[in-house]
């Protein structure tokens, strides 16, 4: 299903007209990243099931590379979707701005985001190891372990907060504009409730981000109190 939906997104946003604005370029890049993430997720499953049995060196290298790239790709998607939400908000606040019509801005921000996330996840590739038959990240230094927990919360709660705030502000601005246009006895509160009910599906993405963070956050904090025997 994921491959099919990503392929449809690629076909849609590959069209030149769709990429004349920054949002179109963001979504096109997200589609590419999601397709790559699915590929590395498949490689992750293959590695878990068998890996390079009998080749400890290759097994460790593949474990490090696959986990690292999967982390970077997944969290890059979260941040790019946050930039999409912010871009929509800016388009509402500044409808005549030319920034939203410069697709190269989206490309530059996407590249910068991926580079930043790649740098932030360097400890993951350094401390990833094989424990038994499992590929795990063992942060044996307290400061590195603390950094990992902060890093995890930042990528999930940070993107959740950005998207939630931006979506809420977007709904408020649109509701205020429509309330002024109507000019009747309809209050802003009534218009806001109507807009919220019609746009509440926009909150699905940040909610999914938080829910997907729960397993990793729980493991990150629980394993920090557990000494792993390797």
- pTM of this prediction? 0.80
Q: Which residue has the higher pLDDT, 188 or 105?
A: 105
Q: Which residue has the higher pLDDT, 202 or 183?
A: 202
Pick from 30, 23, 22: which is nearest to 6 by CA? 30
**pLDDT 10s digits, 23-67:** 888 888 988 898 888 888 888 888 777 666 666 677 778 888 888
**pLDDT band of 114, cuts 50, 70, 90:** very high
**pLDDT 10s digits, 153-197:** 888 889 999 999 999 999 888 888 887 777 666 777 888 888 888
d(CA 34, CA 28): 10
Q: Which helix or strand (DSSP H or E) is residue 33 part of?
A: helix 22-49
Compute the average pLDDT of residues 2-30: 79
Per-residue pLDDT at 224: 45
First to last CA, the chain: 37
**pLDDT band of 2, cuts 50, 70, 90:** low
Q: Under CATH, which number does the domain 2-223 receive? A: 1.20.1070.10
**pLDDT band of 125, cuts 50, 70, 90:** confident
Compute the average pLDDT of residues 12-33: 83
87 pLDDT exceeds 80?
Answer: yes
Q: Where are the domains of the chain?
A: 2-223
Q: Tokens for 108? A: 């530059």
**Those residues with Cβ within 8 angstroms of residue 205's Cβ, 6 or more apart along the chain or in another chain:** 81, 163
Q: What is the mean pLDDT of the chain?
A: 80
Per-residue pLDDT at 230: 43
Per-residue pLDDT at 49: 76
Per-residue pLDDT at 72: 92
**pLDDT band of 228, cuts 50, 70, 90:** very low
What dihedral angle (degrees, nearest 10) is formed by the CA atoms of 25, 27, 33, 38?
A: -150
Residue position matching structure tokens 């970077």: 72
Per-residue pLDDT at 11: 78
């Amino acid at each position: 299903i994921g491959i099919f939906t990503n392929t449809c997104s690629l076909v849609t946003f590959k069209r030149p007209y769709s990429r004349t604005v920054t949002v179109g370029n963001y979504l096109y890049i997200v589609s590419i990243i999601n397709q790559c993430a699915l590929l590395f997720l498949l490689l992750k499953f293959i590695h878990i099931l068998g890996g390079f049995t009998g080749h400890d060196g290759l097994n460790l290298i593949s474990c490090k590379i696959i986990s690292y790239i999967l982390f970077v790709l997944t969290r890059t998607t979260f941040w790019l979707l946050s930039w999409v939400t912010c871009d929509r908000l800016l388009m509402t606040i500044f409808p005549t701005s030319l920034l939203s019509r410069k697709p190269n801005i989206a490309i530059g921000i996407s590249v910068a985001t991926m580079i930043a996330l790649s740098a932030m996840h360097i400890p993951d590739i350094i401390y990833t190891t094989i424990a038994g038959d499992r590929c795990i990240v063992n942060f044996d230094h307290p400061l590195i372990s603390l950094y990992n927990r902060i890093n995890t919360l930042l990528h999930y709660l940070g993107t959740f907060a950005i998207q939630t705030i931006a979506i809420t502000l977007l709904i408020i601005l649109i509701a205020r504009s429509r309330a002024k246009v109507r000019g009747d006895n309809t209050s802003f509160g009534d218009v806001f409730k109507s807009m919220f009910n019609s746009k509440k599906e926009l909150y699905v993405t940040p909610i999914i981000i938080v829910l997907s963070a729960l397993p990793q956050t729980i493991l990150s904090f629980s394993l920090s109190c557990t000494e792993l025997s390797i």
